[in-house]
């Protein structure tokens, strides 16, 4: 009798403990998973922003160069 | 000249617009963390259950789960007769076998109890002790010793037992079951003659299956109908026994070790505690999800609503299982030896499974929501 009572209590205790463990693990995992995805994306986006900035600078330079070529061409035409 | 100037102006405008778009995109990518965090906050706020509708659904779901658990507990306290009366497919049975070897007519199958419920041994079965093989079936152990009570093997062996009036033990040894009269002492102290299913001489399990094969060959369609009747009888019997306190053993375990299956059942690990709760849990979750979905208003974000439904079901499951665990803990502490046998183990397992799958789903929805918001912000100014 006593043994069954003790085993019953042990099983219920085990069930409560495992439920608590699983709940807390998954709660932590939930926050960590989304935050990890967010951090990874933010990191990647920063690199992407850097690349875009470089492209933008290059584009600006090319634009300035074309602009000066066109200006000089127009000036020459006016002189002619 | 004016045409060239116009073309240059257009070009400059286009370049300046591209500049603007690129600068915007660079800024979005640079501030991606802040944008994603804002979207995350928005998702968490939008998928919160703290509103009138979701709270009402939560209470409704908790009440349904509570009622199911109450019924499961109530059924476990009922005796076999009360449970049999509750089953609409079950009807009054009396042992009236013709006592044919390896043969039971369809009428006998319908009107007699299943042979593997027999526990009384034929008093005339007196062989010398070296030839005697005691079946050892008792009221407390027959569900674990008789293979007909195994939820999986029983579908084959139990059906064969019913169609041949035999009983098969967990070690696959069989005995014939016959209708015999027994003198029994009643509760009022008087002696009475009762007609009961009685375990008689040993039978061969192989012969039992051979007899079924021969019968199917001989009787053709009629034989198959009898086999179907026996299978139905077996399923109805299993369904009647399942919700009881002793319930049915876990599949196949009783064939390996009936004592272990009995011990597991004593601590609430049996087919009944797992299957009943699982079915009740799945049905309630489906009903709640369906009704919640029906109440979705126009213009509500689909992803947020899906996350709310999933959260609602998980929280209701957790509350109901938490309550059930508390009651069981209290009963076990008070010394109720049947505490674990009344616990809804299937519901508990479903709750944990649901918690895991729901978390996974909400995570996916949240990630997709953040991604969508980010794309929306990125494309706010386009190259046009």
Express each pLDDT in B153-191 by its tens digit. Answer: 999 999 999 999 999 999 899 999 988 888 877 778 788
**pLDDT computed for residue B167 by the predictor:** 93
Do residues B162 and B230 lie in contact, with contact meaning Cβ atoms separated by under 8 Å? yes
Question: Is there a single domain that holds both residue B162 and residue B83?
Answer: yes
Neighbours of B347 (CB within 10 A): 27
Question: Is there a single domain that holds both residue B57 and residue B121?
Answer: no
Question: Which member of A18, A56, A70 has the closest CB to residue B26?
Answer: A56
Which of the residues in chain B have pLDDT under 50?
A: none
Domain range enclosing B187: 79-242
**pLDDT computed for residue B157 by the predictor:** 94
Write out chain A's pLDDT in tens, 80 residues: 778 888 888 888 898 998 888 888 888 887 788 888 888 998 999 999 999 899 888 988 988 898 888 888 888 877 76
Question: Which member of B29, B32, B367 has the closest CB to residue A34?
Answer: B367
**pLDDT computed for residue A80 by the predictor:** 66
Question: Is there a single domain that holds both residue B83 and residue B124?
Answer: yes
Question: Is there a single domain that holds both residue B60 and residue B164?
Answer: no
Residues of A engaging B, defined by a Cβ cutoff of 8 Å: 1, 4-5, 7-9, 11-13, 15-16, 18-19, 22-23, 26-27, 29-30, 33-34, 37-39, 41-42, 45-46, 48-49, 52-53, 55-56, 59-60, 63, 70, 74
Number of domains in chain B: 2
Question: Is there a single domain that holds both residue B212 and residue B341?
Answer: no
Question: Is there a single domain that holds both residue B206 and residue B344?
Answer: no
Query: Could you say which of B195, B220, B242 is where a domain stops?
Result: B242
Helix (H), strand (E), coil (C) string for B76-111: HCCCHHHHHHHCCCCCCCCCCCCCCCCCCCHHHHHH
Taking the mean position of all CA atoms in its chain, how far away is CA A33? 11
Question: Which member of A22, A70, A74 has the closest CB to residue B355?
Answer: A22
B257-300 pLDDT tens trace = 989 999 898 888 999 999 999 999 999 999 999 999 999 988 88
Q: What ipTM was reported for this prediction? A: 0.80
How many CB contacts within 8 angstroms connect chain A with chain B?
A: 102
**pLDDT computed for residue B123 by the predictor:** 72
DSSP secondary structure string for all residues of B173-212: -EEEEEEEEEEEE-TTS-EEEEEEEEEEEEE-HHHHHHHH
**pLDDT computed for residue B315 by the predictor:** 95
Q: What is the largest CA-CA distance in chain A?
A: 116
Mutate to test the interface with A, among B363, B365, B371, B373 (most CBs of A within 10 A): B363
pTM summary value: 0.83
Interchain pair B328, A48: CB under 8 A: no
Question: Is there a single domain that holds both residue B96 and residue B181?
Answer: yes
Residue B255, in any domain of the structure: no
Question: Which member of A8, A26, A52 has the closest CB to residue B26?
Answer: A52
Residue B29, in any domain of the structure: no
Question: Is there a single domain that holds both residue B222 and residue B328?
Answer: no
Question: Is there a single domain that holds both residue B60 and residue B96?
Answer: no
Residue B154, in any domain of the structure: yes
Residue B269, in any domain of the structure: no
Residue B250, in any domain of the structure: no
**pLDDT computed for residue B180 by the predictor:** 84
Residue B280, in any domain of the structure: yes
Residue B181, in any domain of the structure: yes
**pLDDT computed for residue B207 by the predictor:** 93
Residue B25, in any domain of the structure: no
Neighbours of A60 (CB within 10 A): 13
Question: Is there a single domain that holds both residue B221 and residue B132?
Answer: yes
Interchain pair A19, B348: CB under 8 A: yes
Do residues B338 and B245 lie in contact, with contact meaning Cβ atoms separated by under 8 Å? yes
Query: Could you say which of B242, B259, B289 is where a domain stops?
Result: B242
Question: Is there a single domain that holds both residue B154 and residue B187?
Answer: yes
């Amino acid at each position: 009798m006593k043994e069954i009572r003790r085993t019953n209590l042990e099983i219920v205790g085990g069930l409560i403990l495992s439920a608590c463990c699983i709940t807390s693990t998954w709660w932590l995992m939930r926050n960590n998973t989304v935050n990890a995805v967010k951090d990874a994306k933010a990191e990647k986006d920063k690199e992407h922003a850097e690349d875009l900035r470089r492209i933008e600078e290059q584009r600006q330079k090319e634009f300035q160069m074309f602009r000066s070529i066109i200006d000089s061409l127009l000036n020459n035409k006016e002189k002619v | 000249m004016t045409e060239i100037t116009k073309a240059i102006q257009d070009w400059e405008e286009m370049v300046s617009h591209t500049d603007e778009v690129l600068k915007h995109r660079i800024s979005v990518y640079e501030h991606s963390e802040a944008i994603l965090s804002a979207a995350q906050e928005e998702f968490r706020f939008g998928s919160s259950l703290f509103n009138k509708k979701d709270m009402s659904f939560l209470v409704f779901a908790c009440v349904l789960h509570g009622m199911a658990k109450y019924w499961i507990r109530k059924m476990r306290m009922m005796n076999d007769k009360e449970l049999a009366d509750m089953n609409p497919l079950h009807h009054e049975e009396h042992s009236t076998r013709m006592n044919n070897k390896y043969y039971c007519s369809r009428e006998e199958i319908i009107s007699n109890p299943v042979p593997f419920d027999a526990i009384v041994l034929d008093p005339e079965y007196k062989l010398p002790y070296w030839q005697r093989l005691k079946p050892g079936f008792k009221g407390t152990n027959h569900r674990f010793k008789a293979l007909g009570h195994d939820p999986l093997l029983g579908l084959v062996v139990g059906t064969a037992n019913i169609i041949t009036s035999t009983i098969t033990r967990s070690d696959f040894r069989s005995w014939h079951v016959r209708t015999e009269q027994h003198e029994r002492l009643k509760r009022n102290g008087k002696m009475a003659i009762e007609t009961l299913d009685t375990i008689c001489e040993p039978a061969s399990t192989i012969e039992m299956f051979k007899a079924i094969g021969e019968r199917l060959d001989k009787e053709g369609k009629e034989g198959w109908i009898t086999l179907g009747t026996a299978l139905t009888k077996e399923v109805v019997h299993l369904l009647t026994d399942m919700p009881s306190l002793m319930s049915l053993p876990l599949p196949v375990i009783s064939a390996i070790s009936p004592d272990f299956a009995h011990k597991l059942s004593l601590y609430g690990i049996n087919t009944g505690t797992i299957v009943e709760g699982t079915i009740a849990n799945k049905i309630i979750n489906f009903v709640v999800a369906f009704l919640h979905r029906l109440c979705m208003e126009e213009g509500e974000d689909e992803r947020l609503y899906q996350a709310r439904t999933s959260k609602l079901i998980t929280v209701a499951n957790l509350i109901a299982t938490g309550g059930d665990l508390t009651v069981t803990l209290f009963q076990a502490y008070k010394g109720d030896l049947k505490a674990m046998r009344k616990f809804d183990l299937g519901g508990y397992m479903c709750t944990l499974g649901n918690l895991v799958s729901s978390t996974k789903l909400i995570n996916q929805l949240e990630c997709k929501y953040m991604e969508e918001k980010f794309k929306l912000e990125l494309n706010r100014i386009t190259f046009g």
